[in-house]
Chain A
Amino acid sequence: MKRFLLALFCIFMAASLFADPDFAAMLRKVDALVTFNDSDFSAQYTIDQIKPGEGKDSTVAAIFRRDKEQKYLIMVLQPQTDRGKGYLKIEDNFWLYDPISRAFTFTSSKERFQNSNARNSDFTRSTFATDYTITATHREQLGKFDCWVLDLKAVSDSVSFAITKLWISDDNLVRKKEDYSLSGQILRTTAIPAYQQVGGHYVPISMIILDNLSGRVVNGTFVNDRTVITITKPSLEHLPDALFSKAYLEKFAR
């Protein structure tokens, strides 16, 4: 009997070792690791838009997030010509502030940020688990990372991309992401080689977003346009409530 129970235990252990994980739970973990529901978050983002053969355009922005209330504020610090421009999101409302016309216009989280390959949604909390459903999974080696590859399909039309593919390492961090159009055309590829730990959460050190459709042939090789986002000065310090307001953007621009 003891032998039988031992054999049963071994079979169970072996089965659980080779069984697929709960991917929905994995997505929730992915979201939880990069979302700051228990504190505010702020950091400085440097966004370099690189066009092969044309040099790069740099934008430095301060980003303030209060994920639990679905609020975030982006203030452009550089270049000087765009200084004072701001993005404010409060729940489903999203405004762009132009300091020259001193006017707010409605924008969308699907829009490109400062004409780069980044979307406004790239700067906010992660919501893969609620926005997408998993359509396929497989295991893949991505450089030094053992990853699960999850094919996702949007469950609502509120997201920037209808189809997304995630490479998730065993520590539940997204290492690579491919975004597709509704008809399945690859549009951009994002690589996140390293993260920095902030409190119990993670923030990328840098992200490289490749535009799969735009680029130029340089020295006989096709080089894609790309955006490199570097995140510095991450902080979990409490932010004043007044920060997430139109008035604050107007005041900052002055």
Chain B
Amino acid sequence: MDSTFRIALRNLFRQKTRYRVLAIAIAFGCAIITIVYGSLGGMRQSLEDKAKIYYGGDFNILGNRYQQDYLIYDPPELMEALESLPGHPVRVSPRIDYRSNVFLSFGGNSVHLRMVTGVSWEREERNFRSFNYVSGGPEGMAGSNGILISAPVAQMLGARVGDDLLLLIDTTTGQRNSATLVLRGIYKDSSMFGYYTSYMDIDFLRATIRGVPGSATYVGGYYQGNGRLAYPLTRLQTTLEKSFPMFPLATTKSDMFSMKGSSSWTGVKYSLMGLNAHIAQINQVVQVMTLLLLALAALLVATVILGVVNTYRVVVFERTREIGTMRAIGMQRPMVVRLFLFEAGMLAIAASIVGVAVGIGALILLSTINFSWLPGFDVFLANGHIAWAMAPGEILSVAALMLIAALAAASGPAARAASIEPVQACSMES
């Protein structure tokens, strides 16, 4: 085994001119897969992080009233039930999402907001620290008349942190109301989640819209630690069904709407929705991108296999006499196979290490470029940049994929080399 390894290593160095092209091909394939996989992972992570804050966590529970707006009359009851579940490490928080004719006005400029969200800052402030703030931040938002807005909205209003903004909003009964808000933070987010969304104190918003005292639109939950695995949504749904009137678990938003539309009920009926249900449509885009990545990876692996097969065919042909000599002095057929597989394996490992390193280097370089100018792409960016994400296991997988491809490709020529009879090999003219 040891001598086979040494011979294989020696052969690699002797044939380095021939193997160089093959090594470059493997390294290139590895680098490309690393870059695409790493950036896709980062983009998916950024999307999830943004969506989590927008939707109030890894999951949320909406209060549905028949043919009326969402409302949970008693959020503490639901929150207590969620937090007291044994083995359910979760941090929950109530929210109000409000969309009724919301305008922000400052210095003669007026901006129509898609939505204003009331947040319980005592519970959620630390989540909002992860925003990329142009100025200000979420500190001191709890119980105040502060507001956080996106940089594009601040630019349209011509407002800076500390300015008094006028919020114009319809109450729950449709009357126009107004409130003076202090701009406490401007965050950089021009994605669909951040652009026309603003965040303010839940109690202040509820009072401004004359909402039901203590009520919320939904309760969101952030998993802590391994909560997602320890208490999957299906289990949470089953548990909640024992204590609350629930709609079945929806996999997409449209599922939930169709469930709501197909029945009538009295009071509040809850619906549990995971983050993936909210971002199902965007996930489809990510899935298409993943499929494209898989196709690219398959193409690269096929190229590597072809390269290895062709190279080893030539190598076997060129080294027929050498194989014959080795077989003549006692090398067994399995040893010949191992020799060629060792060569291919070592080549694949070395090239993969270089490829992954180059790929990671390229990812680091890529993460310094600001892509926020790309329209509609901001949802996949963290602070305007691609935040690549690749677990060590994933990096090993890329290298392993190339190794397996190289070994599989080399096994055929290796078997052919082992089948050569010594007499026949030695009589061949090289």
- Which of A's residues lie within 8 Å of B, judged by CB? 108, 110, 154, 157-162, 181-183, 185, 187, 213-217, 222, 224
CB contact list, B165-182 vs A, under 8 A: 166, 168, 170-171, 173-179
User: Mind listing 16 A-B residue pairs with CB under 8 Å?
Assistant: A108-B174, A110-B174, A110-B176, A157-B171, A159-B175, A161-B176, A181-B177, A181-B178, A182-B175, A182-B177, A182-B178, A182-B210, A183-B178, A183-B179, A213-B168, A222-B108
Closest 8 CB pairs of A and B: A185-B178, A157-B173, A181-B178, A182-B177, A215-B108, A213-B105, A214-B110, A162-B175
Is B176 a contact of A162 with CB atoms below 8 Å? yes
Considering the complex, give the chain B residue whose CB is closest to the CB of A213. Answer: B105
Q: How far is the CA of A189 from the CA of B173 in the complex (A)?
A: 23
Q: A181-B178, A185-B166, A216-B108 are in contact. List 7 more A-B contacts (CB 8 A).
A: A110-B175, A157-B175, A158-B174, A159-B175, A161-B176, A162-B176, A214-B108
Which of chain A's residues have a CB closer than 8 A to the CB of B108? 213-217, 222, 224
Q: A185-B166, A213-B110 are in contact. Are A154 and B175 (CB under 8 A)?
A: yes
Q: How far is the CA of A182 from the CA of B172 in the complex (A)?
A: 12
Which of chain A's residues have a CB closer than 8 A to the CB of B171? 157, 182
Considering the complex, give the chain B residue whose CB is closest to the CB of A223. Answer: B108
Q: Report which of A154, A183, A217, A224 forms a contact with B177, defined as CB distance below 8 A.
A: A183
Which of chain B's residues have a CB closer than 8 A to the CB of A213? 105, 108, 110, 166, 168
Which of chain B's residues have a CB closer than 8 A to the CB of A217? 108
CB distance from A121 to the nearest CB of B (A): 12
Which of chain B's residues have a CB closer than 8 A to the CB of A224? 108
Which of chain B's residues have a CB closer than 8 A to the CB of A222? 108
Is A162 a contact of B110 with CB atoms below 8 Å? no
CB distance from A230 to the nearest CB of B (A): 25
Most buried by B among A157, A161, A224: A157
Q: How far is the CA of A154 from the CA of B174 in the complex (A)?
A: 13
Q: How far is the CA of A213 from the CA of B105 in the complex (A)?
A: 7
Secondary structure dominating the interface of A: loop
Which of chain B's residues have a CB closer than 8 A to the CB of A182? 171, 175-178, 210
Q: Which bucket holds chain B's interface residue count? A: 10 to 19
Q: How far is the CA of A46 from the CA of B56 in the complex (A)?
A: 46
> At the interface, yes or no: B109 with Cβ under 8 Å from chain A?
yes
Considering the complex, give the chain A residue whose CB is closest to the CB of B176. Answer: A181
CB distance from B337 to the nearest CB of A (A): 70
Is B178 a contact of A187 with CB atoms below 8 Å? yes
Which of chain A's residues have a CB closer than 8 A to the CB of B109? 214
Is A181 a contact of B174 with CB atoms below 8 Å? no
Q: How far is the CA of A108 from the CA of B168 in the complex (A)?
A: 17
CB distance from B106 to the nearest CB of A (A): 9
Q: How far is the CA of A110 from the CA of B171 in the complex (A)?
A: 12
Q: How far is the CA of A183 from the CA of B170 in the complex (A)?
A: 12
CB distance from A157 to the nearest CB of B (A): 4
Q: Mark B169-212, 1 if CB is under 8 A from A, else 0.
A: 01101111111000000000000000000000000000010100
Considering the complex, give the chain B residue whose CB is closest to the CB of A162. Answer: B175
Considering the complex, give the chain B residue whose CB is closest to the CB of A119. Answer: B176
Considering the complex, give the chain B residue whose CB is closest to the CB of A184. Answer: B178
Which of chain A's residues have a CB closer than 8 A to the CB of B166? 185, 213
Which of chain B's residues have a CB closer than 8 A to the CB of A154? 175
Q: How far is the CA of A154 from the CA of B105 in the complex (A)?
A: 24
Q: How far is the CA of A191 from the CA of B408 in the complex (A)?
A: 86
CB distance from A136 to the nearest CB of B (A): 20
Q: Report which of A157, A160, A187, A215 forms a contact with B168, defined as CB distance below 8 A.
A: A187
Q: Mark B107-136, 1 if CB is under 8 A from A, else 0.
A: 011100000000000000000000000000
Considering the complex, give the chain A residue whose CB is closest to the CB of B210. Answer: A182
CB distance from A170 to the nearest CB of B (A): 31
Q: How far is the CA of A27 from the CA of B134 in the complex (A)?
A: 52
Q: How far is the CA of A215 from the CA of B105 in the complex (A)?
A: 10
CB contact list, B81-121 vs A, under 8 A: 105, 108-110
Is B105 a contact of A162 with CB atoms below 8 Å? no
Which of chain B's residues have a CB closer than 8 A to the CB of A215? 108
Q: How far is the CA of A156 from the CA of B269 in the complex (A)?
A: 30
CB distance from A226 to the nearest CB of B (A): 12
Considering the complex, give the chain A residue whose CB is closest to the CB of B110. Answer: A214
Q: Mark B252-290, 1 if CB is under 8 A from A, else 0.
A: 000000000000000000000000000000000000000
Considering the complex, give the chain A residue whose CB is closest to the CB of B103. Answer: A213
Considering the complex, give the chain A residue whose CB is closest to the CB of B169. Answer: A181
Which of chain B's residues have a CB closer than 8 A to the CB of A162? 175-177
Q: A182-B171, A187-B168 are in contact. Are A214 and B177 (CB under 8 A)?
A: no
Which of chain A's residues have a CB closer than 8 A to the CB of B105? 213-214
Which of chain B's residues have a CB closer than 8 A to the CB of A185? 166, 168, 178
